[in-house]
């Protein structure tokens, strides 16, 4: 059997060049976002034709909310919506000062918002009180789990406002009555 000749220096250099070219090409390709990653990215804005606009009507702190105690604090945000294009409900996530995401407590939810008929709406978030100053709300329609379209709502929580809220938190029973 005829023995194969070893690769020439030119062939070896070409082989290494091809490997380097593939590696560099892969690295450059990785610098660009994929179409799916662009679609998956949250779209945060002030108003949306799909949601309308939302303002914060009130903020309160509870250490017992609807009968549920907490080692943190319940931040209860009342929302006032406007311009909903069709019947929908609101859901939201709270982004705290450390950039962490919190979901609403299961005992709070918003009712159906009918076009032209704003309905009072209250969402409670069980959060770390130390990270409240600077916290933001991101409101979505229907469910934050399924949505990428968010309204950015500033809670206007500075150190003084947070301290005021935490100074005397409320307590409510299962039915929402004060304890």
Residue closer to other proteins, measured from CB, 57 or 68: 68
Using CB under 8 A as the binding rule, whether residue 29 contacts other proteins is answered as: no
156: left (phi over 0), alpha (psi -120 to 50) or beta: left
Q: What order of strands is seen across the sheet that includes strand 68-82?
A: 121-127, 68-82, 53-65, 170-171
The string over 134-164, giving b where at least 16 C-beta atoms fall within 10 Å of a residue's C-beta and e elsewhere, is: bbbbbbbbeebeebebbbebebebeeeebee
Question: Which string of x and - marks every residue 124-163 that binds other proteins (by CB under 8 A)?
Answer: -xxxx-xx--------------------------------
Using CB under 8 A as the binding rule, whether residue 100 contacts other proteins is answered as: yes
**Which among 44-52, 64-72, 113-121, 152-160 is the span making contact with other proteins, rule CB under 8 A?**
64-72
Residue closer to other proteins, measured from CB, 84 or 124: 124
CA nearest neighbour of 80 among 129, 25, 28, 139: 139
Residue closer to other proteins, measured from CB, 82 or 142: 142
- Is-contact 45 142, C-beta < 8 A? no
For residue 126 the two structure tokens come to: 């069980």
Using CB under 8 A as the binding rule, whether residue 89 contacts other proteins is answered as: no
Q: Is 4 helix (H, G, I), strand (E, B) or coil?
A: coil
- Is-contact 116 167, C-beta < 8 A? no
Per CB under 8 A, the list member of 50, 53, 60, 70 interacting with other proteins is 70
**Which among 45-53, 66-74, 113-121, 149-157 is the span making contact with other proteins, rule CB under 8 A?**
66-74
Per CB under 8 A, the list member of 7, 42, 69, 111 interacting with other proteins is 69
Q: State the number of binding residues for other proteins (CB under 8 A).
A: 22
Residue ranges in contact with other proteins by CB under 8 A: 67-72, 96, 98-103, 105-107, 125-128, 130-131
């Amino acid at each position: 059997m005829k023995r194969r000749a070893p690769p020439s220096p030119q062939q070896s250099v070409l082989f290494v060049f091809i490997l380097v070219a593939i590696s560099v090409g892969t690295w450059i390709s990785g610098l660009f976002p994929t179409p799916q990653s662009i679609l998956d990215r949250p779209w945060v804005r002030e108003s949306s034709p799909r949601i309308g606009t939302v303002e914060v009507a009130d903020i309160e702190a509870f250490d017992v909310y609807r009968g549920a105690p907490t080692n943190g604090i319940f931040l209860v945000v009342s929302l006032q919506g406007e311009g909903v294009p069709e019947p929908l409900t609101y859901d939201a996530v709270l982004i705290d000062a450390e950039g962490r995401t919190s979901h609403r407590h299961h005992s709070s939810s918003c009712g159906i918002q009918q076009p032209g008929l704003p309905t009072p709406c209250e969402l409670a978030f069980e959060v770390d009180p130390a990270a409240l100053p600077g916290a933001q709300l991101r409101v979505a329609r229907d469910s934050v789990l399924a949505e990428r379209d968010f309204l950015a709502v500033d809670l206007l929580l500075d150190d003084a406002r947070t301290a005021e809220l935490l100074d005397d938190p409320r307590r409510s029973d299962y039915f929402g009555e004060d304890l």
